């Protein structure tokens, strides 16, 4: 069973803050004189609540409105992100949202084509996914012969060579490494030879208003919008922007070369 950490933080903040406030309003002043005479001490529950509330509340604010850490569990975003990458997600890139309800209270920006985004999986919103935005609202997207077409125009991609995988991504060794230009920015993708295009349906989609079409950079090993459809705007969690740690036991542990890598 997945745990909604935001809900846990909200409940803990309410509990510790409520205990602290309740004691301060009703009991603290009357207890102060007795404490001065050594006849009483602050209850342990109140002491813990007073100490923990600021810490929990600050963590809640940072995680909800500034940045949130995530771990990459799969190979769907290789070669951009590897299994074992720990990333930070900008929570205010697309507007400030309330924790738990995810209601946007301050609109600050809009997703752009090519952004790497974390979102709540439309099929199971308790599960977080990470993919790259390919289609914006109103776009006509097609995927044929492993080429993306946006509003009838093919997305430029040029071969770079053959990929050499390491650790948990070693099975992608030999895949075709390509440089793709999307939204005015370049990034690399992987494609397997002699593997049929990964799609469901006729390979053509019109992106509805308020939704986005997303794909993994590991094009033949990614369950994305080609399979389950579009990402509603309200499901967006934020924009991935940096790798702060990589741990892959199959690659020998920490890969220091990936620490601080900007996600493009």
Active site amino acids: 76, 131
Sheet strands side by side (includes 185-191): 157-162, 176-182, 185-191
250-251-252-253 Cα dihedral, nearest 10 degrees: -90
Given its phi and psi angles, is residue 38 left (phi above 0), alpha (psi -120 to 50 degrees) or beta?
left
Cβ atoms of 118 and 93 closer than 8 Å: no
Q: β-pairing, 211-215 with 204-206? A: unpaired
In which residue are the tokens 């990459």 written?
72
Please state, in angstroms and rounded to a whole number, the distance separating the CA atoms of residues 252 and 189. 25
Residue 60 corresponds to which tokens in the numbers above?
């809640």
CB 219 within 8 A of CB 227: no
Give me 189's structure tokens. Answer: 């993708």
Residues 257, 243: Cα–Cα separation, whole Å: 10
Burial of 36 (0-12, 13-18, 19+ CB in 10 A): exposed
């Amino acid at each position: 069973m997945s745990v909604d950490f935001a809900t846990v933080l909200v409940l803990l903040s309410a509990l510790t803050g409520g205990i602290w406030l309740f004691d301060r309003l009703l009991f603290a002043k009357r207890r102060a004189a007795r404490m001065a005479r050594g006849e009483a001490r602050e209850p342990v529950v109140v002491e813990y609540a007073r100490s923990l509330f600021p810490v929990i509340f600050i963590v809640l604010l940072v995680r909800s409105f500034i940045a949130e850490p995530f771990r990459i569990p799969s190979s769907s975003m290789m070669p951009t992100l590897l299994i074992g990458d720990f990333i930070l997600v900008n929570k205010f890139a697309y507007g400030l949202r309330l924790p738990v309800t995810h209601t946007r209270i301050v609109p600050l920006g809009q997703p752009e084509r090519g952004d790497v985004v974390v979102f709540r999986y439309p099929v199971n919103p308790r599960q977080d996914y990470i993919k790259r935005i390919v289609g914006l609202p109103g776009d006509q997207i097609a995927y044929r012969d492993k080429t993306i077409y946006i509003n009838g125009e093919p997305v430029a991609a040029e071969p770079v060579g053959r990929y050499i995988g390491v650790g948990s991504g070693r099975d992608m060794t030999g895949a075709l490494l390509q440089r793709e230009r999307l939204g005015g920015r370049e990034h690399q993708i992987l494609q397997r030879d002699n593997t049929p295009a990964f799609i469901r349906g006729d390979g053509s989609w019109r992106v509805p208003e308020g939704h986005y079409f997303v794909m993994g950079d590991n094009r033949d090993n990614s369950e994305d919008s080609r399979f389950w459809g579009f990402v509603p705007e309200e499901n967006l969690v934020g924009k991935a922007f940096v790798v702060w740690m990589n741990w892959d036991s199959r690659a020998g542990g920490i890969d220091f070369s990936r620490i601080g890598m900007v996600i493009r």
